[in-house]
C-alpha cells in the first residue's frame, strides 16, 4: 500500500521486449539514485502510481517486468528514455498516512488538458518557482463515476484533492513543492496520466450499485408452480 506522497523521481533508461518464456512482456529499467539502494529483489514500489516488483537491483538502477495488463492500463509502455517517473516506497505499518490509501492499481490513463500557473501578472509574467498551479486531467469514462468533488484521486501516483469535476475533467490545485518534486513539471499537454480512483469511493459505489440492483429484483416466493417448473 502507498499514500501518494512522492519524495523522489526516477528516469526511464530503457523499455525492451522480453522473451515470453520469462514471464513478462516488456522490461523497464529505471535510474533511481537514493531509492534503488533501499530496494531488495522482489520488493514492491510505485512507479508513477503503478505498483511494480523490483528486479535485478543495484545501488543506482532497478528493473521491473510489465505484463500486458500493465501496458494496456497505464502510461508506462509509452514512456521514452529520459522520461521522469514518480517513485514511492510502500508505506510501513504504523506510519502516518500523509495522503490517502493508494493501491498502485491504476484504473486507466487520462489526458493532461492543462497545467497553468495561478499567480500571473498583468503582463503574463509569473514566478515559476513559487506559484501554485491548476492541473486539469480528462479522466477515462469508466473512472468518472468514482470522481467526487473534494474527494481524493491519485494522478501519476500523487495523492491529490479534486477541487472540481465537470463530469469529464478533474481540476486539482498543485503546490510549488508538488510541482517540482514530482514529474508534473516535465509533462506536456496531451500526455497520458495514470489515474487511480479512491478505493473507498469505489467500494461505496459498488455497495450502492448492489443495493440498487437488489431493490429492482422481484422478491422470490417459493411456490408449487416454481417447484414443478424446476423439476421437483
CA 157 vs. chain centroid, Å, equals 4
Answer yes or no: is 221 within a domain. no
pLDDT score at 232: 56
State whether 119 and 26 are in the same domain.
no
Answer yes or no: is 227 within a domain. no
pLDDT score at 19: 67
State whether 80 and 117 are in the same domain.
no
State whether 208 and 117 are in the same domain.
yes
pLDDT at 23 over 70: no
Tracing cell 509533462 back to the chain, one arrives at 187
Mean pLDDT of 70-93: 94
pLDDT at 184 over 90: yes
Answer yes or no: is 229 within a domain. no
State whether 73 and 121 are in the same domain.
no
pLDDT in tens, 187-214: 999 999 999 999 999 998 888 888 777 7
pLDDT score at 100: 93
State whether 180 and 131 are in the same domain.
yes
Answer yes or no: is 148 within a domain. yes
pLDDT in tens, 87-145: 999 998 888 888 999 999 999 999 999 999 987 666 667 787 888 999 999 999 999 99
pLDDT score at 127: 80
Other CB atoms within 10 Å distance of the CB of residue 127: 10
State whether 152 and 72 are in the same domain.
no
State whether 84 and 35 are in the same domain.
yes
CA distances from 66 to 10, 12, 60, 147, 183 (A): 17, 14, 20, 27, 20
In the sheet that holds 44-47, the strands lie side by side as 50-53, 44-47, 84-88, 8-17, 26-31, 61-66
State whether 124 and 195 are in the same domain.
yes
Answer yes or no: is 3 within a domain. no
State whether 24 and 66 are in the same domain.
yes
Do 65 and 53 contact (CB within 8 A), yes or no? yes
- CA-nearest of 213, 164, 156 to 185 is 156
pLDDT at 65 over 90: yes
Q: How far apart (Å, rounded) are the C-alpha atoms in residues 89 and 1? A: 9
pLDDT score at 222: 59
| Percent with pLDDT over 90 in the chain | 71
The number of domains in the chain is 2
Mark 205-218 as b/e (b = at least 16 C-beta within 10 Å).
Answer: eeeeeeeeeeeeee
Do 86 and 183 contact (CB within 8 A), yes or no? yes
Mean pLDDT: which of 23-32, 58-67, 209-218 is highest?
58-67
Answer yes or no: is 48 within a domain. yes
Out of 30-34, 90-94, 157-161, 199-203, which region has the weakest mean confidence (pLDDT)?
A: 90-94
State whether 54 and 14 are in the same domain.
yes
Enter the C-alpha cell of residue 66: 510489465
Q: How far apart (Å, rounded) are the C-alpha atoms in residues 148 and 197? A: 9
Torsion of CA 157, 160, 165, 167, to 10 degrees: 20
State whether 45 and 128 are in the same domain.
no
CA distances from 65 to 20, 23, 28, 70, 119 (A): 11, 8, 6, 9, 42
Average per-residue pLDDT for the chain: 90
Q: Which domain holds residue 22?
A: 8-88
Amino acid at each position: 500500500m502507498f499514500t501518494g506522497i512522492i519524495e523522489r523521481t526516477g528516469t526511464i533508461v530503457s523499455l525492451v521486449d522480453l522473451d515470453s518464456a520469462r514471464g513478462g512482456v516488456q522490461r523497464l529499467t529505471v535510474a533511481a539514485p537514493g531509492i534503488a539502494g533501499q530496494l531488495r529483489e522482489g520488493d514492491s514500489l510505485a512507479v508513477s502510481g503503478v505498483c511494480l516488483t523490483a528486479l535485478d537491483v543495484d545501488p543506482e538502477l532497478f528493473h521491473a517486468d510489465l505484463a500486458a495488463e500493465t501496458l494496456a492500463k497505464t502510461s508506462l509502455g509509452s514512456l521514452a528514455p529520459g522520461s521522469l517517473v514518480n517513485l514511492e516506497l510502500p508505506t510501513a505499518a504504523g506510519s502516518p498516512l500523509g495522503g490517502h490509501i493508494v493501491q498502485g492499481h491504476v484504473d486507466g490513463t487520462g489526458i493532461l488538458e492543462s497545467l497553468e500557473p495561478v499567480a500571473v501578472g498583468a503582463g503574463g509574467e509569473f514566478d515559476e518557482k513559487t506559484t501554485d498551479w491548476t492541473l486539469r486531467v480528462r479522466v477515462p469514462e469508466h473512472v468518472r463515476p468514482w470522481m467526487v468533488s473534494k474527494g481524493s484521486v491519485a494522478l501519476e501516483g500523487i495523492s491529490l484533492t479534486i477541487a472540481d469535476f465537470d463530469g469529464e475533467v478533474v481540476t486539482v490545485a498543485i503546490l510549488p513543492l508538488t510541482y517540482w518534486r514530482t514529474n508534473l513539471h516535465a509533462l506536456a499537454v496531451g500526455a497520458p496520466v495514470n489515474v487511480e480512483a479512491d478505493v473507498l469511493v469505489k467500494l461505496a459505489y459498488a455497495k450502492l450499485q448492489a443495493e440498487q440492483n437488489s431493490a429492482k429484483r422481484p422478491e422470490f416466493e417459493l411456490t408449487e408452480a416454481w417447484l414443478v417448473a424446476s423439476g421437483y
